[in-house]
Chain A
Amino acid sequence: MGSEIAQLLSELREDEVIAKVKSELEAGTDPNTILEMCQEGMVLVGDRFEEGEYFISELMMSGEIFNQISEILAPGLTGTGGTKSGKIVFGTVQGDIHDIGKNLVVGLLRASNFDVIDLGVDVPPEKFVEALKETGAPVLALSGLLTIAFDAMKATVKAVEDAGLRDGVKIVLGGAPVDDTVVAYAGADAAGGDAQHGVKLCKKWFNV
C-alpha cells in the first residue's frame, strides 16, 4: 500500500497518486504515514535522476505533485509534520535576482524533510548572517546565475567569517557558472553541482 503511493509518485502519475492519497485519508490512514510514503517516492525520483532516466523537468513535476499532496495532508499532520532532518539557510546572493534553480533545490530539500529558511533573491551578506544567527542552521546554501555572483558569494562567506560563525557552518554554492575555481575563490566548502547532487550533499552533511 505504502509503496503504491511512492511508486505512483515516482512515475509522476499525478491524478492517480492524488486520488490514492485522498482514498487513503478517507480510509483513516495517518497523514504522517502518507507523507512518509511520498518522501519515499521522492527518493525514487532522485534515484531515477541520478541514473539519467529523469531530467530537471521530471524533478520539477515531482515537486509540484509533492506540494499538492502536502497541502492535502497539511490539516491532519501532527506538529510540524515529523522531525525535520536539519536547518538550511538558502538564498540568491546580492545583485542577482534569479530564482529558478534556487526554488527547485529548496523544493527538493523540503521534500527530503529539511527545514529550509529561504531568504529569496538579491540577499545582502548581513541578511544571511542574521538568519544563521537566528536559526542556528549549520548549512548555508548560496545561489547565483550571473558571474557577478562570484564576488557576492565571496563577500557573504567573509561576512559569515567576520561574524565568527564560519567554523560551525558549511557553505555550498550553486548555479550554472559555479565550479571548483569559484568555490576556492569564494572560500566556500563545496559546489552543489546539479539539483539532486546538492540535496545528496546536504544529506551527507547532516548524516541523513
Chain B
Amino acid sequence: MNQIIKDTVDYLSSVRLTAVILIAVAVLAAIGTLVGQNSLPEEYVMRFGHTAYRVLSLLSVTDIYHSVYFNALLMLLVVNITLCTLSFAPKRITALWKKPAKESGYPFSESLVSSRAEDEVLGGVVKSVRRPLCRTTVTSRGAETVVVSAPHPVFSLGAIIVHISILIIIIGGLISSLFGFSGDMVIIEGGISREVVIDRKHLVMLDFSVELNRFTFDRYADGTPREYRSDITIIDGENRTDSSLTVNHPAKHNGVRFYQTSFGMEMDYATIEILNREGKSIFTGDAYWSIPITVPGRDMTFTIVRNSSEFMDLGPAVQLLVTDGKEQYDLWSFVNYPDFDRERDGDLVFVLKNYHEVPYSGITAVKEPGLGLVFAGFILICIGFLFPIASSMGRFSVRVSPGAKTTEIIVQGAPGKLKVGFDALFKRLVDGIRKSLC
C-alpha cells in the first residue's frame, strides 16, 4: 500500500508528468486559437457545419480555456510543480551554507611563479579574480591561501523562484476567478447604473453607482480614433468622486476597477403619435424602452419592446406591444416610413415621429482579489529567470603559497553549465595575473 502511494507521489512529482501536462496545455491552447473562442453560434455553424459545431460545443472547445478539463490540467500542473519543487528545493537551499566544490573538480590548471611578496601577490590575485555577481572567498590552509571566485550561491535558486512564481500566478488567478468578477456596464450619457452584466448571462449589482456625465470621442484628422473618454461620477452613499476613464487609464473604487472598452449610440426615448382612421391625431408622447405608456381617454397602453437605430437598412424603428382593452398585438413603426403602420389596417395608426439617441459608454468593471499575488508572481518570475545566467559562469580558484624567495601561484578553473569560451576566460585570467604579478 505504502509502495503504491510512494509510486503515485513519485509520478506526480516527475518531470515526465510536467512534460505531458505542458504538451497537453500547449496543444489545447493551440486548438482554442484555431477554432476561435466565444464567437456566436451562427459563425461556428457557418465555418464547421451544424454537426461539427454541436460536437465542438459539447466538448467546450468553443470556450476551451474555461473548460473543466483545461482547468483540471492547470490544477494538476500546480500539484506537479509543488511536489517537484518540494523534492529538490530543500537540498538546494541547504547547499547555500555548504563549502564550495573540492579542488579536484578543476579541469583547467596553470602554475605561475612570482618574485613578489605573498601579501602583494594575494592582493593582486583577489583583484584579478573578482567578477560581478560572483562571491570571492579567501581562506588560509597552513601556509597556503586559496582565493575562490564562484557565482553567488543564491543564483542557484533560480529554478525554485521560477516554479514558486508560477504557482503564485496560477493561485492568484484562481482567487480572482472564485471571488472576483469581470463584466460590462452600459451607461447612457446622463444615466446612472450599478448593473454589471457578466458573460451576457449573469448580473452583479455594485454597492455603489456609476454616473456617466459625458462621453467624448476624438478622432485624428485621418479619421483614426485618438481618444475615448468617459467622465464619470462614482456615487457611494454621500460620497461623490469624479474621474475620467480613457483607454490605458482605468479608475478604481472599493476594489472594483473601471475600464473604457466600447461606446456607441443608444435610444433614449422615442416620440410616438397615434392617429385614428381619419388621420386625426389622438395622442403624441415620449416613450422609453420597456415602460408602458397609457393613452388618456382609452383603455389602452403601449410599450416599446424592441428598438434599432438601423433596422434592416430602413432606418430607426421601434417595435410596440399594444394592449387595447382585451386585445393585444404588436407592430413596427419607422421614422422614415410614417405610413407603414397604415397597411396593418387597424383602427389606429402608430407613427414613430422621432427617435432620440444619446451616446452610451461601454465600461468594463473588474474585481480581482488575486491581482496582487499575480503581479508579485510576475515580478518574481522575471527575477528568477535571470539567475541561471549568473549561476552558469564557472568557478576560479587561485592558490597562493610562499616559496623560499618567490611566491607560487596555481590558477585553476572549472566551467559551469556553459563550457564554450571558458578556456578563453581562463587564459585571460592567467595572462592578467602573469602580467601584473610575474
* Pair from one complex: no
**Residues of B bordering A, CB below 8 Å:** none
**Residues of A bordering B, CB below 8 Å:** none
